[in-house]
Amino acid sequence: MTEVPVSPYIGTVQLKPQDYKSDVKPIWCPGCGDFGVLSSFYKAIADLGIPPENAVIASGIGCSGRFPAFVEAYGFHGVHGRVLPLATGIKLARPDLVVVAVGGDGDAFSIGAGHLPHAARRNVDITYIVMDNEIYGLTKGQPSPTSPHALERKASPYGHAEYPINPVLMALAYGATFVARGFSARPREVTELIKQGISHKGFAFIQIYSPCVTFYDTYDHFRQVTADLPADHDPSDKAAAMRLAMEDEVLYLGVFYKENRPSFVESLQAVRTRAAAKPFDLQDLINRYRS
């Protein structure tokens, strides 16, 4: 199998984080956790030396959907929940590009949830950053798939009846080859996670707690309940990663799991190579489907 690099353009320029800022000013609420993710993203792609013209950021709908407009790179603002098919198509058409998909907990785990297992199992060589505020912020504070059970908000004054999903555990179960979690109030760690995710060959899933100060301010909560993964954690141990992801008393931050296996682009190229090496007769192929 021919090895395909993540992108031949990584490390080819020396730019500063501000060089990746577009002329469009972010319009998130002051204090929004997404600002921290965006700043970490600028720093990460600058550290990796990625030319703006060789990077693509795709997004769906929600507060996170504005992300591509704020980055000096190619962007694709797609429809609700469909960022992973978009990013997959971009990567298959141009395997040389650095492709990053961004979304929120609603876009990723509600309407778009059906795409996550397939992007993960295929090992599409993209980085998926999910900015999780555990609420629907753009539509004024309804509970999302990651909202805590019994959460009382204006849209759920008597408590949220549903239980939350576990995004990290889901990504591990679906076969993602890089799974990590961060907190936007810890920008250095988030920068490092994004750098590792982009550099990883295969599907990289990064959940980032990104509080919504307007409808569900969880900064203090996450400062209290998050902690670094144990120093002796082996990211190649999937069972251990799952156990840590299921912890209730503490929400661990860091790289849970990392595995090296062929990317979707490499697997497709291997199929094409085998097909090209085997001559076939069109009539013979048609005859196989005749009764």
Residue 161 is part of which domain span?
Answer: 17-287
Tens-digit pLDDT string for the chain (291 aa): 666 778 999 999 999 999 999 999 999 999 999 999 999 999 999 999 999 999 999 999 999 999 999 999 999 999 999 999 999 999 999 999 999 999 999 999 999 999 999 999 999 999 999 999 999 998 889 999 999 999 999 889 999 999 999 999 999 999 999 999 999 999 999 999 999 999 999 999 999 999 999 999 999 999 999 999 999 999 999 999 999 999 989 999 999 999 999 999 999 999 999 988 888 788 888 888 886
In a domain, 38, yes or no: yes
Q: In a 3-state reduction of DSSP, which class is residue 151? A: coil
Q: In a 3-state reduction of DSSP, which class is residue 34? A: helix
In a domain, 7, yes or no: no
In a domain, 97, yes or no: yes
- What pLDDT does residue 288 have? 86
In a domain, 9, yes or no: no
Q: How many CB atoms lie within 10 A of CB 248?
A: 6
In a domain, 4, yes or no: no
CATH number, domain of 50, equals 3.40.50.970
Tokens standing for 250? 């503490």
In a domain, 11, yes or no: no
- What pLDDT does residue 42 have? 99
Specify the number of domains making up the chain.
1
CA dihedral (123, 127, 129, 130) in degrees, to 10, reads: -20
Contact 192, 208 (CB under 8 A): no
- What pLDDT does residue 291 have? 64
- What pLDDT does residue 275 have? 86
Cα(237)–Cα(255) distance, integer angstroms: 11
